[in-house]
Amino acid sequence: MNDTGIYKAKGFQLFWRTAWARAYPRIVGTFRERSWLFFETLLPVLGTAAYVFVYRAINAPPDYTGFVVVGGAMIAFWLNILWNMASQLYWDKDMGNLELYIISPGPVMAILMGMAIGGLVMSGTRALIILTVSTFLFGVTYQTGSLPLLGAVFLVTMAALYGMGMMFASLFLVSGREAWHISNLLQEPVYLVSGFYFPVKAIGFWGAAAASLIPLTLGLDAIRQLLFTGDPTLGFLPVGMELGILAVLAVIFINGARLALARLEEIGRREGRLIERRR
């Protein structure tokens, strides 16, 4: 409490309060605007159904139906990264909020963390609905033998994925108007190279290795190996190895986000600009 009798949070308390303040609108908005739940779950289920019927038409093993269902659920997280994380700072700048973030006493890293927490809750709700509906519609059965390991894989995957989204937020802001085009460009190709609808091993070792730079690739592959044990040869790498790589990616992306954001703040305070210099 200062001389005026006003209490000011500092350190970790300020970081946490800032993160929670940014996460709160997304968490509350998830359940307040229920029409979003309908449209953002119905369309992914329809896309998932198309691949399920293709696999059934060619008499593919039953596990492939489960692969598609899990991949369809994980799409919610990737779309959240592109449109509610990577592009968010650019949109905030257009709306006039970014300048307030920069001059506020709260760390901008905490604002990004709040975006990630709120986005994880938002996407998790949609993914759970998609997974539940698709499981009952297509009669998918799961055979997991280690729930703690499954939970660890999911949490580390989300840490790496949202760390990448936090890093992209600064990079997309620097790119200016191209942020919208970059988001569109990255959407469909990642569906392919990350193996959302098929085992990523099918694109070859080096192709899958390159795609592993996207955390969802290894996370999705590990989750499938833990949920469907019918044919373990469909996995790209052993689950333990994939979990270790994901942990390394999480550290790299989160630190990359911190460095990119520090550079962005330095430019903003020194030159009075947040994106490319105008002519």
What does the pLDDT read at residue 16? 85
> How far from 153 is each of 97, 114, 148, 227, 263, CA to CA, in Å?
35, 22, 9, 12, 31
Query: Which tokens in the block code for residue 153?
Result: 């894989």
Q: Are 216 and 161 in contact (CB under 8 A)?
A: yes
C-alpha to C-alpha distance for 127 and 70, rounded to whole angstroms: 9
Higher pLDDT, 50 or 178: 50
> Per residue in 38-64, pLDDT tens?
767 777 788 888 889 989 899 888 888
Q: Are 273 and 267 in contact (CB under 8 A)?
A: yes
How far from chain centre, in Å, is Cα 212? 14
C-alpha to C-alpha distance for 1 and 96, rounded to whole angstroms: 31
How far from chain centre, in Å, is Cα 98? 22
Sketch the domain layout of the chain as residue ranges: 26-140+147-271
Considering only 19-23, 94-98, 238-242, which range has the smallest mean pLDDT?
Answer: 94-98
What does the pLDDT read at residue 160? 92
Q: What is the mean pLDDT of the chain?
A: 81
What does the pLDDT read at residue 3? 54
* Strands annotated E in the chain: none
C-alpha to C-alpha distance for 40 and 18, rounded to whole angstroms: 28
- Sequence-distant (6+) residues with CB within 8 A of 181 are none
The answer, yes or no, to whether residue 87 has pLDDT greater than 70, is: yes
What does the pLDDT read at residue 278? 47
Rama region for 4: left / alpha / beta (φ>0; ψ in -120 to 50; rest): alpha
Task: Supply the Cα-derived Rg of the chain in whole angstroms.
Answer: 20
What does the pLDDT read at residue 9? 63
> Per residue in 106-124, pLDDT tens?
787 888 888 888 888 888 8
H or E element: which one contains 158?
Answer: helix 147-175
C-alpha to C-alpha distance for 54 and 3, rounded to whole angstroms: 70
Q: Are 166 and 158 in contact (CB under 8 A)?
A: no
The answer, yes or no, to whether residue 173 has pLDDT greater than 50, is: yes
Max alpha carbon distance in the chain (Å)?
75
C-alpha to C-alpha distance for 212 and 204, rounded to whole angstroms: 12
Q: Which residue, chain included where needed, has tokens 């200016």? A: 176
- Please list, residue by residue across 212-236, b when 16 or more beta carbons sit within 10 angstroms of its beta carbon and e when fewer do: bebbbbbbbbbbbbbbbeeeeebbb
